[in-house]
């Protein structure tokens, strides 16, 4: 049994909540989201001023190839955001279903609290107002119970969220790649100390130095991608 936190909700229910592991969130994304192909690192071809031979090496910041790559990365990040946003509430259903382990009725003051349940009571059904007005039903009965019965108030959702995603859910659950550690490229701009030899076109990098530097393939716009929970809170509350 995972570590559980007990929370009394405004809806008259008490729930026990566990954190959603980053791996669980990552597995959901792998199973349900299809992202576009990520642009490869920008490359440039240089001609040696010494013997005229050409070599293809990672492009330098400020070059035409680098600027073209920045535009590709911006478009890529925007497409990824659109893919995530389209599945936002489906991911919310999964996360809440995972985090809320069990629940019990405490609505009647003075009586002994009900037994812990992992599924809705047998006699519980969503209000028929939804059906009368053509609102599509939530197919999974447990998910419907969590959303419509347990979390009737926005502030209760926020309380559950802080337990399900500690530290505000600001974790990045994607795997770390070599391309994400390339800030060192900024240290080797043309004309700065420490470089020897010449590749022409104003560059003072050697082939070995360029090859040893990883190019960062993060968001070329410098914009931070919002994590799942913050995007969801924004859509629910506007904050």
Q: What is the pLDDT of residues 49-97, one digit of tens each?
A: 787 788 898 999 999 999 999 999 999 999 999 999 999 889 989 999 9
What stretches of the chain show up as alpha helix (H) in DSSP? 22-32, 64-86, 88-99, 129-132, 141-145, 154-164, 207-211, 228-237
pLDDT of residue 67: 94
pLDDT of residue 51: 78
pLDDT of residue 133: 92
Helix, strand, coil percent values for the chain (each to nearest 5):
40, 10, 45
**Does position 106 have pLDDT exceeding 50, yes or no?**
yes
User: Domain boundaries in the chain?
Assistant: 1-33+87-175+226-239
Which secondary-structure segment (H or E) carries 47?
strand 43-47
pLDDT digits 0-9 by tens, 166-181: 864 444 434 334 443 3
Tokens of 170: 């600001």
Q: Which one, of 33, 175, 26, 195, lies nearest residue 95 by Cα?
A: 26
CA distance 78 to 88: 15
pLDDT of residue 68: 95
- Mean pLDDT for 30-45 is 92
Q: pTM to 2 decimals? A: 0.62
**Which of 15-19, 80-84, 111-115 is predicted with the least confidence, judged by mean pLDDT?**
111-115
Tokens of 13: 């229910």
pLDDT of residue 172: 41
């Amino acid at each position: 049994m995972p570590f559980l936190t007990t929370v009394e909700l405004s809806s008259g229910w008490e729930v026990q909540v566990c954190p959603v592991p980053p791996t669980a969130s990552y597995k959901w994304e792998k199973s349900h989201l299809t992202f576009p192909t990520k642009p490869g690192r920008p490359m440039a071809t240089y001609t040696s001023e010494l013997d005229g031979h050409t070599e293809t090496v990672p492009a330098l910041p400020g070059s035409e190839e680098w600027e073209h790559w920045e535009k590709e990365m911006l478009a890529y990040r925007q497409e990824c955001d659109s893919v995530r946003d389209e599945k936002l509430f489906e991911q919310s259903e999964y996360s809440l279903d995972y985090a809320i382990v069990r629940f019990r009725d405490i609505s009647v003051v003075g009586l002994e609290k009900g037994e812990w349940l992992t599924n809705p009571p047998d006699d519980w059904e969503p209000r028929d107002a939804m059906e009368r007005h053509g609102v599509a039903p939530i197919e999974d009965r447990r998910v419907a119970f969590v959303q419509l019965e347990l979390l009737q108030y926005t502030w209760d959702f926020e309380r559950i969220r802080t337990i399900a995603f500690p530290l505000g859910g600001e974790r990045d659950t994607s795997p770390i790649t070599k391309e994400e550690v390339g800030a060192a490229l900024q240290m080797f701009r043309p004309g700065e100390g420490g470089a020897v030899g010449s590749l022409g076109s104003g560059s003072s990098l050697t082939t070995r130095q360029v090859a040893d530097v990883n190019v960062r393939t993060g968001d070329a716009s410098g914009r931070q991608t919002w994590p799942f929970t913050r995007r969801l809170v924004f859509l629910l509350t506007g904050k």
